[in-house]
Each structure stands twice: as C-alpha cells, then as structure tokens.
Amino acid sequence: MNRCNASLLVASLLLLVLALPGCSGEQPAQPAQPGGAAATGSQRSVAPPGATVFIISPQNGATVSSPVQVKFGVSGIDIAPAGQLAANSGHHHLLIDTELSNPDQPVPADAQHLHYGKGQTEATIDLEPGQHTLQLVLADGNHVPHQAPIVSKIVTITVE
C-alpha cells in the first residue's frame, strides 16, 4: 500500500469512528475483506434477495405493560455483530416512535434508535404509557441500512 492510500484509509477509519457515537461495548468496524459487503462512502451492503426482518412480539395492536419485551425475527440473512462486515449479514436496530430517515447514513444512536450490535435477537425496553410504534431495521457492520433497506412492518402497541 502506498503512502497516499494508507493516509486515505486512516482518514476514512477516523471518520467512521467519529460517525458512530453511542455504540459503546461494540468492536470498531474493520475494513471489508475481499468479496465482503461493507458500506463505505456511498456504497451500501446489498440486501440478499428475499431477506426480511420482523417483530415476533408484541403483535400489532397489542396492549402491554412496561417494560416491554420485544422479540426480533429475520429470514434470508444472518445476524452478525456490529463491526463484522460479512456479506449477507447485519444486526438489529429498533426504531421507537420514529422511522428511518436516511438509509444512506448509519442509523443514529439515541432514545428512538436503539442498537443491538452484539447480535441480540430480543430486548426489554421501558416505554411510557400510551401508544407507541416499533420498527426493526437491519443494518450492516457499519450500522448502515442495506441496499434496499431491510425493514419490518410497523407495529403499533399501547402501553398501560
């Protein structure tokens, strides 16, 4: 690798680290292996044909109490921790009372965009009483949604 390419790689990795706040405990993303499906720059990982993500529970229209246990499901794609850039894989992000605003950018990390970068397939979340929407987004090892985005149907629940 020449000096120019090495400098470009270091700068790219630094920007990636700065763009992913709130992912504590996760391994930093590694450069894609040859043949991998990393999202770098304007590239996004390609979604495998027929890949789906869905919320197993709670079901749409359910009335629940907090904390709420949410179970995630996938079909046609593997679950892998954040930082792993294997083709045909990703990890879950749970969107609460919001929707995916920009599929070309990493999923934000805040109270409405929860990251499950260790490969978790369920979560227990605290929600205030009232009506809430839940949606899953699968994203690659860099937290960027696939091309085309793999998103679940929106589930609306009422918390008593």
Is residue 120 one of the residues assigned to a domain? yes
Answer yes or no: is 104 within a domain: yes
Does residue 54 belong to any structural domain of this protein?
yes
Kindly state whether residue 38 falls inside one of the protein's structural domains: no
Query: Does 55 fall in a domain?
Result: yes
pLDDT per position as a tens digit, 101-120: 999 999 999 999 999 999 99
Residue 43 is predicted with a pLDDT of 80
Residue 19 is predicted with a pLDDT of: 39
Q: Which domain holds residue 88?
A: 3-32+44-159
User: Residue 124 falls within a domain, yes or no?
Assistant: yes
Q: For residue 36, what pLDDT is reported? A: 36
Decide if 37 is inside a domain.
no
Evaluate whether residue 39 is within a structural domain.
no
pLDDT of 38 reads 40
Q: Are strands 78-79 and 89-96 parallel, antiparallel or unpaired?
A: parallel
Which segments of the chain have a pLDDT < 70? 1-42
User: Residue 110: what pLDDT?
Assistant: 97
The number of domains in the chain is 1
What is the CATH classification number for the domain harbouring 27? Answer: 2.60.40.10
Query: What pTM did the predictor assign?
Result: 0.75
